Amino acid sequence: MLMRTDFREWDRFAQQMLGAAAPGTWSRPAAIPMDAYRAGDEFVVCFDLPGLTPDAIEVDIERNVLTVKAERRPLPGGDDVQTQICERPLGVFSRRLFLHDKLDADHIAAAYEAGVLTLRIPIAENAKPRRIEITGTSSDRKEVEA
């Protein structure tokens, strides 16, 4: 006989008891999951923020420190609403990134689609690889070749 055990309930219970799943507050926000990668001449960062509207998300940059903050509030209720299950985390979420000087923080593009905030940060011109031209006379080349 096989017994099916769903340990997710135990994990959720343990997280709640240990405070790991506690919602964030403005003084102590919960972390936002993210991916980051380089694509061509830009640095791309994707943040998971499902169930939010774009106006619930703040993106700020100050001295090469990029900060993303968001807040998920409970659904509006009333006298006739009785919550049965509440598993989606509520509260404040935040993530800070320290950007390298070689990124062009003045030209960051932000888009929010399907619950994912995507930031595209161009790589500064002076950080891109470039070819250095070598100058010289043709007689110098002949001497080197000989």
The two three-digit tokens of residue 16, written as one number: 């709640």
pLDDT higher than 60, residue 94: yes
- The SS3 call for residue 43 is strand
d(CA 59, CA 69): 7
CB 67 within 8 Å of CB 95? yes
Calculate mean pLDDT across residues 111-127. Answer: 89
For domain 23-73+89-145, is the CATH number 2.30.130.10? no
- Of all residues in the chain, the percent with pLDDT exceeding 90 is 34
Give, rounded to a whole angstrom, the gap between the first and last alpha carbons of the chain.
85
Residue 146: per-residue pLDDT: 47
Q: What is the pTM of this model?
A: 0.67
Residue 20: per-residue pLDDT: 47
d(CA 127, CA 103): 8
DSSP sequence for 52-79:
--GGGEEEEEETTEEEEEEEEPPPP--T
pLDDT grade, residue 21 (50/70/90)?
very low
d(CA 123, CA 126): 8
More confident residue, 55 or 9: 55
Query: Which DSSP category does 95 fall into?
Result: E
So where are the chain's domains?
23-73+89-145
pLDDT in tens, 129-141: 778 888 887 665 5
